[in-house]
C-alpha cells in the first residue's frame, strides 16, 4: 500500500466521524495553541529585551572591571564578591588601557543614583559622567534639542524619557531649565553596596545636600536602548553628584577610595575587534564585559523560561494524547469487521497499522495547524492590548511580545504529529494483530 | 487436470466457553483448476470454517492446505496477506463492502493494497463494474445500492486482482430468489468463461447439484459425501 493511499484512506475514515475527529483534534488545538502562545511570549519578551542591548553605541564598548567576573548565569548566581581578587581602577590604569593596541579611548565611569528635581517635580535617575572623549558621534546624533556642553561645568544632557516623567513634552522647552540633584531616596537596587557612612536621607538628622545645574541638551533615550535612562553630565560634575547620591555600579570597588573607579569604559576603534581587544585587557588581569555578555545571559535565562512555559503548555498535549488514544481505540472497536474485510482483500498487518497511525497523526496535524492559528490570533489581540498599555506608559509602539518564529511553528506542528503518532501506536498495533476471521465475525 | 488445491486431514479446533469444538475433524479434499466446488451441509457442519481456512483467513490446528507447492498452514501472516491479495477473491453473504467508499473505490481496494498504479486501478474497476451492468453506479455508496447490486460490486472486488480462485460464502443467502438466480449466473459465467476455480458454500443442495462440478457435503466437521455435480465438465 502506498503512503498516499494510506493517507487518503485515513482521511476518508476521519471524515466519516467528523464530530468525534473534530472534538479529538480540539484537544490538540488547545495543547498546541497553549505551547505556541506561551513560547512565543517567551521569544517575544526575549527579543524585546535583547533589542535594548543591540545599540550601535554599545557595539564598540568594553567595560573594564576591577576583577575577572564571569557573566554566565551559573556564576552570577554563585559568585560572591569577597572571593574576587580586586584590582584598583585608577587614572594610571586608564592610561595603561589607552595604550592597549586597538583601543580608541578609555575613560573612567563615574556614575551615581540621585534624586533630581525640575521646577516642583521630583524623580530620580542615574547620573553619568562623560569626559570630552566620551562624547561620541553616535551620542551627538541622538540629540533632539540643544547639544552637549562646550566646557566642563554645571551642565546636563537629559534623556527624553526623564522629561516625560516630568511631564515635559517638548524637549526644546526643557533647555535652560534648572535641574537639582539631591540625596537618593528611590529604590535600592538589590545587592548594591552602600557607603559605610549613614545615608543622609535615612539618618534623618543630616541636612539635604543638593547641587543644581542647567539643562543644555536633550537626547532620544530610545536610541540608547537599555542604557538610555541616564542623565549625562561632565565628568567633573559627576564626581560632585557622587558625593550626594549613591554610586551606581559600585558592587566591585570601594568608591570611598579617592581616585578609584567602579569601572572604566574602553572604546574600541573597530567594533569587529571588540573580542580581540577585550582579550588583551583580560590578559592584563582585569575583568571585562560587553553588551554581548548581557545578551548571552538573557538568552540563557529566556531559554529556561521558554522551556518552563513550553512544559506548562505541554500539559494540554498530554491530555490531547489520551484523547487521541481513546478515539482510536473506539474507532477500532467500531471498525473491527471492516478491518477483517480489508484483510480478506489482501491488506497486510502493516497496512492496517499504517492506516490507524496515519489517522491519529492526522488528527494531531490538523489540530496543531488550527492551534497555531488560534495562538496567532489570540497573540495578536493581546498584542494590541499590551501595545496600547505600553504606549500609554511612554514605551515604544513597535513592540512584538508574541513572536511566532518558523522554528516554533514547525516545531510545534512536528511535535504534535509525533504525539499523535505515538498515541496511535498502541491502538494501531491492536488493529493490525486482529485475526481476519475473528474480525469478520465481529458485529 | 492440474490440481489447484489439495487439503489433507484438515483439523480446526475451537475453544468455545471452555468447551472444545472440533469444527473440522480431518477433512481431505482435492480440487482441479477450473473446478466449481459446492460445499454443502447444515449450519455448524464446518462449511464456512473450511472456506476461511482455504482462503487463508484462519489458521488450522492440524493438517495441510497445499496451494500449488506451498502449504498455507505454514505461511507467515505477511505471506497469507499476499496469498489473499493475489490468489483468492472472497464473496460474502453479507457483501462486506466498506460503507464509506463508493462502488468503484470498493472494487479498487485489493489493487490499492497491491500497490497498483492509480490509473490502472480505475480502469480495471470501471471495466469490471461495466461488464456486470453497474456502469451507472460507480460513484454510489453501498447504502445507495440494492442487495443484488451490492453483491455484484463485491464480486467485482473479488475479481479485481484477477485471482485464480474465488471463494464464496453463501453469496445468495441475503438475496431474493430472482436476484439470487442472477448472481448464480454470474458465478457460472466466471467459471465457464474466465476459468476461475470457485469454492462456494451453500445450504441449497439443489443449486449445488445443478451448478457445481463437484459437491462436497460436510457433517460435523467431516466429509460425508463427495459427488459430481449436475453440469459436470470433468
- Alpha-carbon separation of residue A248 from A230, A344, A442, B4 (angstroms): 11, 82, 80, 98
pLDDT at residue A196 in the model: 38
pLDDT at residue B229 in the model: 62
- Alpha-carbon separation of residue A305 from A34, A42, A76 (angstroms): 15, 7, 17
Cβ-in-10-Å burial (0-12, 13-18, 19+) of B86 comes to middle
Cell of B198: 470457485
> What average pLDDT does the segment A359-366 reach?
96
Cell of B72: 498455507
A435 CB neighbours in chain B (<8 A) are 58-59
The answer to whether the CB atoms of B58 and A346 lie below 8 A apart is: no
- Nearest chain A residue to B88 by CA: give it: A345
B23 CB neighbours in chain A (<8 A) are none
A32 or B209: which carries more pLDDT confidence? A32
Among A2, A9, A344, beta carbon nearest to B115: A2
> What average pLDDT does the segment A243-262 reach?
64
pLDDT level of residue A187 (50, 70, 90 thresholds): low
- Alpha-carbon separation of residue A377 from A42, A366, A383, A390, A404 (angstroms): 17, 17, 10, 20, 11
- Residue spans of the domains in chain A: they are 3-54+298-441, 61-290
pLDDT level of residue A48 (50, 70, 90 thresholds): confident
pLDDT at residue A256 in the model: 52
| Residue A9 in contact with partner chain B when CB distance is under 8 A | yes
The conformation of residue A335, written as its DSSP 8-state character, comes to T
Residue A267 scores a pLDDT above 80: yes
Distance from CA of B79 to the nearest CA of A (A): 9
| Mean pLDDT of the residues in chain A | 84
> What average pLDDT does the segment A15-30 reach?
93
| Interface size, chain A vs chain B, as Cβ–Cβ contacts under 8 Å | 67
Distance from CA of A371 to the nearest CA of B (A): 29
A336 CB neighbours in chain B (<8 A) are none
The answer to whether the CB atoms of B81 and A440 lie below 8 A apart is: no
pLDDT at residue A429 in the model: 96
State the Cα–Cα distance between residues A232 and B137, nearest whole angstrom. Answer: 87
Half-sphere exposure of B213 (CA within 13 A, CB side): 19
pLDDT level of residue A69 (50, 70, 90 thresholds): low
| Mean pLDDT of the residues in chain B | 90
The answer to whether the CB atoms of A349 and B98 lie below 8 A apart is: no
pLDDT at residue B232 in the model: 40
Half-sphere exposure of A321 (CA within 13 A, CB side): 14
| Residue A334 in contact with partner chain B when CB distance is under 8 A | no
pLDDT at residue B61 in the model: 93
Cell of A406: 518558523
Task: Annotate A113-143 with DSSP letters as a single string.
Answer: EEEEEETTEEEEEEEEEE-GGG--HHHHHTE
The answer to whether the CB atoms of A343 and B57 lie below 8 A apart is: yes
Place of cell 479529538: A24
- Alpha-carbon separation of residue A404 from A36, A53, A192, A321, A412 (angstroms): 7, 21, 38, 24, 11
Hey, which residues 200-239 in chain A have their CB within 8 Å of chain B?
A: none
Q: What percent of chain B has pLDDT over 70?
A: 97
Which neighbouring-strand residues pair with A136?
A: none
State the Cα–Cα distance between residues A67 and A70, nearest whole angstrom. Answer: 10
Q: Tell me the angle at which helices A349-392 and A336-344 cross, rounded to the nearest 10 degrees.
A: 130
pLDDT at residue A249 in the model: 60
A351 CB neighbours in chain B (<8 A) are 81, 113
Number of Cβ atoms within 10 Å of the Cβ of A6: 21
**Angle ∠(A365,A371,A374) on CA atoms, nearest 5:** 150
pLDDT level of residue A204 (50, 70, 90 thresholds): very low
B37 or A78: which carries more pLDDT confidence? B37
Region of poorest pLDDT, from A201-210, A321-330, B163-172: A201-210
pLDDT level of residue A194 (50, 70, 90 thresholds): very low
Residue A425 scores a pLDDT above 50: yes
pLDDT at residue A47 in the model: 85
pLDDT at residue A54 in the model: 72
> What average pLDDT does the segment B191-210 reach?
89
The answer to whether the CB atoms of A345 and B110 lie below 8 A apart is: yes
B161 CB neighbours in chain A (<8 A) are 346
pLDDT at residue B164 in the model: 94
Cell of B215: 459437491
A203 or A364: which carries more pLDDT confidence? A364
pLDDT at residue A193 in the model: 47
Residue A91 scores a pLDDT above 60: yes
pLDDT level of residue A391 (50, 70, 90 thresholds): confident
**Angle ∠(A161,A162,A164) on CA atoms, nearest 5:** 65
- Nearest chain A residue to B84 by CA: give it: A346
B78 CB neighbours in chain A (<8 A) are 348-349
| Residue A16 in contact with partner chain B when CB distance is under 8 A | yes
Q: What is the pTM of this model?
A: 0.76
Residue A84 scores a pLDDT above 50: yes
Among A16, A344, A351, beta carbon nearest to B57: A344
pLDDT at residue A157 in the model: 93
The answer to whether the CB atoms of B96 and A342 lie below 8 A apart is: no
Tell me how far apart the terminal alpha carbons of chain A are, to the nearest angstrom.
26
State the Cα–Cα distance between residues A200 and A253, nearest whole angstrom. Answer: 21
Cell of A242: 557622587
Residue B210 scores a pLDDT above 50: yes
pLDDT level of residue A81 (50, 70, 90 thresholds): low
Q: What is the sign, positive or negative, of the torsion defined by CA atoms of A328, A330, A335, A340?
A: positive
> What average pLDDT does the segment A217-236 reach?
86
> What average pLDDT does the segment A403-418 reach?
94
Hey, which residues 408-437 in chain A have their CB within 8 Å of chain B?
A: 435-437
pLDDT at residue B121 in the model: 94
Among B85, B86, B98, beta carbon nearest to A341: B98
Distance from CA of A342 to the nearest CA of B (A): 8
> What average pLDDT does the segment B23-36 reach?
92
pLDDT level of residue A285 (50, 70, 90 thresholds): confident
State the Cα–Cα distance between residues A276 and A269, nearest whole angstrom. Answer: 12
Q: Which residues contact A397 (CB under 8 A, 6 or more apart)?
A: A387, A390, A391
The answer to whether the CB atoms of A9 and B112 lie below 8 A apart is: yes
pLDDT in tens, A298-328: 888 888 988 998 898 889 999 999 999 999 9
- Alpha-carbon separation of residue B214 from B31, B39, B152, B207 (angstroms): 9, 9, 24, 12
The answer to whether the CB atoms of B157 and A345 lie below 8 A apart is: yes
Amino acid at each position: 500500500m502506498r503512503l498516499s493511499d494510506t493517507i487518503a484512506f485515513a482521511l476518508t475514515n476521519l471524515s466519516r466521524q467528523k464530530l468525534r475527529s473534530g472534538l479529538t483534534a480540539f484537544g490538540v488545538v488547545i495543547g498546541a495553541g497553549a505551547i505556541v502562545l506561551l513560547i512565543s511570549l517567551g521569544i517575544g519578551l526575549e527579543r524585546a529585551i535583547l533589542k535594548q542591548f543591540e545599540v550601535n553605541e554599545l557595539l564598540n564598548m568594553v567595560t573594564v572591571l576591577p576583577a575577572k567576573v564571569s557573566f554566565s548565569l551559573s556564576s552570577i548566581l554563585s559568585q560572591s564578591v569577597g572571593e574576587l581578587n580586586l584590582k584598583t581602577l585608577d587614572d594610571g590604569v586608564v592610561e595603561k588601557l589607552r595604550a592597549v593596541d586597538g583601543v580608541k579611548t578609555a575613560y573612567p565611569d563615574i556614575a551615581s543614583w540621585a534624586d533630581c528635581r525640575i521646577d516642583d517635580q521630583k524623580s530620580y535617575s542615574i547620573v553619568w559622567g562623560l569626559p570630552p572623549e566620551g562624547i561620541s558621534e553616535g551620542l551627538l546624533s541622538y540629540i533632539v534639542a540643544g547639544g552637549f556642553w562646550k566646557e566642563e561645568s554645571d551642565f546636563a544632557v537629559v534623556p527624553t524619557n526623564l522629561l516625560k516623567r516630568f511631564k515635559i513634552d517638548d524637549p526644546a522647552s526643557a533647555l535652560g531649565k534648572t535641574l537639582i540633584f539631591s540625596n537618593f531616596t528611590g529604590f535600592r537596587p538589590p545587592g548594591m553596596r552602600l557607603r559605610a557612612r549613614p545615608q543622609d536621607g535615612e539618618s534623618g538628622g543630616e541636612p539635604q545636600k543638593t547641587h543644581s545645574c542647567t539643562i543644555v541638551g536633550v537626547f532620544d533615550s530610545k536610541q540608547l536602548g537599555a542604557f538610555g535612562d541616564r542623565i549625562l553630565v561632565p565628568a567633573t560634575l559627576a564626581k560632585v553628584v557622587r558625593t550626594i547620591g549613591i554610586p551606581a555600579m559600585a558592587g566591585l570597588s570601594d568608591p570611598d577610595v579617592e581616585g578609584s573607579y567602579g569601572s572604566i569604559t574602553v572604546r574600541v576603534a573597530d567594533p569587529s575587534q571588540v573580542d580581540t581587544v577585550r582579550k588583551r585587557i583580560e590578559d592584563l588581569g582585569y575583568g571585562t564585559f560587553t553588551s554581548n555578555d548581557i545578551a548571552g545571559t538573557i538568552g540563557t535565562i529566556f531559554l529556561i523560561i521558554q522551556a518552563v512555559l513550553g512544559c506548562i503548555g505541554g500539559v494540554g498535549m498530554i491530555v490531547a494524547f489520551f484523547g487521541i488514544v481513546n478515539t482510536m481505540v473506539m474507532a477500532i472497536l467500531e471498525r473491527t469487521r471492516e478491518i477483517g474485510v480489508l484483510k480478506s482483500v489482501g491488506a497486510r498487518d502493516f497496512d492496517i497499522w499504517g492506516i490507524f497511525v496515519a489517522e491519529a497523526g492526522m488528527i494531531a496535524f490538523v489540530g496543531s495547524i488550527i492551534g497555531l492559528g488560534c495562538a496567532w490570533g489570540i497573540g495578536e489581540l493581546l498584542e494590541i492590548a499590551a501595545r496600547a498599555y505600553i504606549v500609554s506608559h511612554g514605551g515604544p509602539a513597535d513592540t512584538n511580545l508574541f513572536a511566532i518564529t518558523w522554528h516554533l511553528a514547525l516545531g510545534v506542528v512536528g511535535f504534535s504529529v509525533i504525539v499523535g503518532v505515538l498515541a496511535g501506536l498502541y491502538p494501531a498495533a491492536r488493529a493490525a494483530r486482529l485475526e481476519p476471521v475473528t474480525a469478520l465475525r465481529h458485529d | 487436470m492440474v490440481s489447484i488445491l489439495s487439503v489433507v486431514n484438515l483439523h480446526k479446533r475451537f475453544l468455545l466457553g471452555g468447551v472444545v469444538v472440533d469444527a473440522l475433524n480431518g477433512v481431505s479434499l482435492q480440487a482441479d483448476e477450473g473446478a466449481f466446488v459446492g460445499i454443502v451441509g447444515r449450519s455448524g457442519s464446518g462449511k464456512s470454517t473450511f472456506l476461511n481456512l482455504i482462503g487463508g483467513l484462519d489458521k488450522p490446528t492440524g493438517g495441510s492446505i497445499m496451494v500449488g507447492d506451498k502449504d498455507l498452514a505454514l505461511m507467515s501472516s505477511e505471506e497469507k496477506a499476499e496469498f489473499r491479495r493475489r490468489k483468492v477473491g472472497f464473496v460474502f453473504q453479507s457483501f462486506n463492502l466498506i460503507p464509506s467508499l463508493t462502488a468503484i473505490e470498493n472494487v479498487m481496494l485489493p489493487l490499492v493494497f497491491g500497490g497498483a498504479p492509480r490509473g490502472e486501478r480505475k480502469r480495471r474497476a470501471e471495466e469490471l463494474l461495466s461488464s456486470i451492468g453497474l456502469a451507472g453506479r460507480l460513484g454510489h455508496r453501498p447504502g445507495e445500492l440494492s442487495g443484488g447490486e451490492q453483491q455484484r460490486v463485491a464480486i467485482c472486488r473479488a475479481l479485481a486482482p484477477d485471482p485464480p480462485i474465488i471463494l464464496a460464502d453463501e453469496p445468495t443467502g441475503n438475496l431474493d430468489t430472482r436476484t439470487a438466480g442472477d448472481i448464480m449466473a454470474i458465478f457460472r459465467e466466471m467459471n465457464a468463461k474466465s476459468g476461475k476455480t470457485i469454492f462456494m458454500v451453500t445450504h441449497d443442495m439443489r443449486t449445488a447439484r445443478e451448478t457445481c462440478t463437484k459437491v462436497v457435503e460436510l457433517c460435523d466437521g467431516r466429509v460425508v459425501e463427495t459427488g459430481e455435480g449436475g453440469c459436470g465438465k470433468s
